[in-house]
Amino acid sequence: MTDRTTEHRFELTLEVPGTADQVWQAIATAEGIQSWMMPTELDAREGGALAFHMGPDATSRGRVTGFEPARRFAYEEEWDELSGHPGADVTPLATEFLVEARSGGTCVVRVVTSAFGTGADWENEFFEEMSAGWGAILDNLRLYLTHFPGRHATPMWVGVDNFPASPEEAVKAVRTALAAKGVTGRLERAIERHFLLQVDEPVPGFLSVYAFSAGEGSGVHLQGYLFSDDAPDYVRREQPTWQAWLEGVARDHAASSAARA
């Protein structure tokens, strides 16, 4: 067995609106977490099981290691399987949320994620990608507490794994197609390979689009956080339509690229 002497670690801090109790409900309940991060199952107690559903075929499972209401929420995940390296000589991925109330109705949330491994290239790449992604994820928490505090989102997820373009080109194509589709709202964030819209129609909430390298093209995920009484019915009815739409955007982009060649 190789010595697990390489520490991987990153820390992020963000000020968000809300009381410590409101922030706690957002970060330490299944309904709260899936309103800004991803669909979640959570036995909300120390030692309880949790599962993050990152797509139809991707789930990260773990357990709660710290549960101090309105102060500290911590958990561990098995990141060897999550990263595609089952059985790798690494410690569990430990994540800790710390909440500190401030005057004026805000809180500071500090997130620390760490693990030990052997220093393999895939470990470094995994942490680099994850630390870059967590900045946007944590900003989702701020936006959720700003615009929809105390409400619970209905999640919607669609994706394609064979978008015939670079991630940057794919994101641009999807953003253009959303405008043509009649989605109204405002752009909250646009960074490399990702953007997030706060939408008014067809259902109030957020639409997050993320692209990543996949073979000679890209994978594209569109995730919705929808806040309305009829959102569950909307997702059951319209999610297949959104999936077909995204596949159509990929086909149209391929046809357009071929015509220009």
Q: What is the pLDDT of residues 21-32, one digit of tens each?
A: 999 999 999 999
Give 107's Cβ-side CA count (13 Å radius). Answer: 25
Least Cα distance to 238 among 158, 161, 151 occurs for 158
The predicted model gives 147-164 an average pLDDT of: 95
The answer to whether position 119 is within a domain reads yes
Looking at 88, 120, 147, which one is the last position of a domain?
147
Least Cα distance to 154 among 219, 104, 105, 202 occurs for 202
Same domain, 38 and 128: yes
pLDDT over 60 at 2, yes or no: no
Model's pTM, two decimal places?
Answer: 0.90
pLDDT digits (tens, 9 = 90+) for 68-99: 999 999 999 998 888 888 889 999 999 999 99
Same domain, 229 and 160: yes
CA 238/CA 202 separation, integer angstroms = 10
SS3 for 10? strand
pLDDT digits (tens, 9 = 90+) for 117-143: 999 999 999 898 888 888 899 999 999
Looking at 106, 123, 147, which one is the last position of a domain?
147
CA 234/CA 207 separation, integer angstroms = 14
Same domain, 18 and 119: yes
Backbone phi, psi, residue 183, to 5°: -70, 125
Same domain, 192 and 119: no
Which residue range is the domain that position 205 belongs to?
154-260
pLDDT at residue 82, as a whole number: 80
CA 195/CA 203 separation, integer angstroms = 18
Chain-centroid distance, C-alpha 79: 16
Same domain, 108 and 181: no
CA 175/CA 108 separation, integer angstroms = 32
Cβ contacts of residue 38 below 8 Å, gap of 6+?
52, 53, 54, 155, 223
Same domain, 20 and 132: yes
The answer to whether position 1 is within a domain reads no
pLDDT over 50 at 1, yes or no: no
CA 211/CA 241 separation, integer angstroms = 20
Domain count, the chain: 2
Same domain, 86 and 201: no
Same domain, 29 and 137: yes
pLDDT over 70 at 212, yes or no: yes
Same domain, 122 and 84: yes
Same domain, 162 and 142: no
pLDDT at residue 181, as a whole number: 86
Same domain, 13 and 140: yes
Same domain, 171 and 137: no
Q: In what order do the strands lie in the sheet with 72-77?
A: 6-17, 106-117, 93-102, 72-77, 58-68, 49-55, 40-42
CATH of the domain at 48: 3.30.530.20
CA 147/CA 16 separation, integer angstroms = 11
Looking at 147, 174, 195, which one is the last position of a domain?
147
Between the alpha carbon of residue 109 and those of residues 26, 43, 90, 161, 186, the distances in Å are 11, 22, 27, 34, 25
pLDDT digits (tens, 9 = 90+) for 105-124: 999 999 999 999 999 999 99
The predicted model gives 242-247 an average pLDDT of: 97
